[in-house]
Amino acid sequence: MTNTYSIGIDIGGTNTDIGLVRDDGRCMAKKNLPTNKYSNASVYVSDICTQIKALMAENGIETIDGIGIAAPAGNFYTGCIENATNLKFKGIIDLGKLFHEHMDVPVVVSNDANAAAYGELVYGGAKGMRHFVMFTLGTGIGSGIVVDGKLVHGKTGGAGELGHAILIPEGRPCGCGRKGCLETYCSATGIRRTAIEMLEAHPEYDGPLREVPEADLTSKMVGDAAKNGDSLALKVFEKTGYWLGIALANAVAFSGPEAIFLMGGPVKAGDVLMQPVKESFKKHLCFVYDGSVDIRVSELPDNDAAILGAAALTKAKE
């Protein structure tokens, strides 16, 4: 059987990664461009297409199935980036149209969390699953929801913003202008906030996190300290896991999935996070779902996860 290929593009505020992906989920080669060096979207897309053609030529690939693009505020229905807050391209950028000026292949656009879910479905641990939910933990929290084997996009393409579901009414202020959103508790930023709160609440603590100037404290430092058995860092992850377990149980009450996948920096803390997540999940899961849902870590390779997710979008079913 001959392999087929597609292109996955991960657009970030700083960098744009472009990968040539074989249909078995192997990223064959990559290029990248500095997103923030472009102010003109047309020139930017033209340069991306030049890189795609170079990738194809260098790897002896003559045809591709399509181009999948994970972009901030990327809309599956319109193929546009819509008013992204962390990109220089303002307003509505019609990626589909811009790419079609250079290449005559299908172009599919979505946001990064939806792409991550699709990557898991097509190339990762969710292969063959009909119902699952992906949470991506990073600076914020994104989510992608698969129902009946298809991504849920909703009316306007904005479905699956579980990072902005309210976990604690009147809780921590969120960058979105509201209070108590999940991502204020369980993102990397949320973990940092919890650590700062805990340092204030436990003046008796004199471990390594006490030495770090507040401005320099990161969730990774807290994770590393927890892995080393640091008592305060462990408390931070217990709390984080408690909160996240509630959010996962609530997601199950919605779509009744067979698994929930977690991806992103904080997940690398490993058992110090996953153990309390699983305990809280079990405690908060409605009994009708007992035994029907697994909590899993993404099986996509770290370095290529975003590109694989983007490439997987080309296999998306309407």
- Residues making contact with its own copies (CB under 8 A): 130-131, 145, 147-148, 150, 152-162, 164-169, 176-178, 181, 243, 246, 249-251, 253-258, 283-284, 286-289, 292-293
With respect to its own copies, which residue has the nearer C-beta, 133 or 305?
Answer: 133
With respect to its own copies, which residue has the nearer C-beta, 177 or 213?
Answer: 177
Where does the chain show beta strands of DSSP type E? 5-11, 15-22, 27-34, 67-70, 74-75, 80-82, 92-94, 107-110, 132-137, 141-147, 150-151, 259-263, 294-297
Q: How far is the CB of 258 from its own copies (least distance, A)?
A: 4
Contact 162, 170 (CB under 8 A): no
Phi, psi of 35 (to 5 degrees): -50, -45
Q: How far is the CB of 93 from its own copies (least distance, A)?
A: 17
Phi, psi of 280 (to 5 degrees): -65, -40
Lookup: tokens for 179 = 């209070």
With respect to its own copies, which residue has the nearer C-beta, 125 or 256?
Answer: 256
With respect to its own copies, which residue has the nearer C-beta, 56 or 109?
Answer: 109
Q: How far is the CB of 19 from its own copies (least distance, A)?
A: 28
Q: How far apart are CA 50 and CA 187, in angstroms?
A: 36
With respect to its own copies, which residue has the nearer C-beta, 19 or 157?
Answer: 157
Q: How far is the CB of 226 from its own copies (least distance, A)?
A: 22
Q: How far is the CB of 108 from its own copies (least distance, A)?
A: 17
State the CB neighbour count (10 A cutoff) for residue 258: 17
Q: How far is the CB of 52 from its own copies (least distance, A)?
A: 30
User: Which among 126, 145, 81, 133 is positioned nearest to 107, based on CA atoms?
Assistant: 81
With respect to its own copies, which residue has the nearer C-beta, 127 or 130?
Answer: 130
User: Which among 89, 175, 179, 144 is positioned nearest to 313, based on CA atoms?
Assistant: 144
What SS3 class is residue 208? helix
Q: How far is the CB of 91 from its own copies (least distance, A)?
A: 16
In angstroms, what CA-CA distances link 307 with 17, 21, 26, 69, 304? 7, 8, 10, 8, 5
With respect to its own copies, which residue has the nearer C-beta, 90 or 210?
Answer: 90
- What's the alpha-carbon Rg for the chain, to the nearest Å? 20
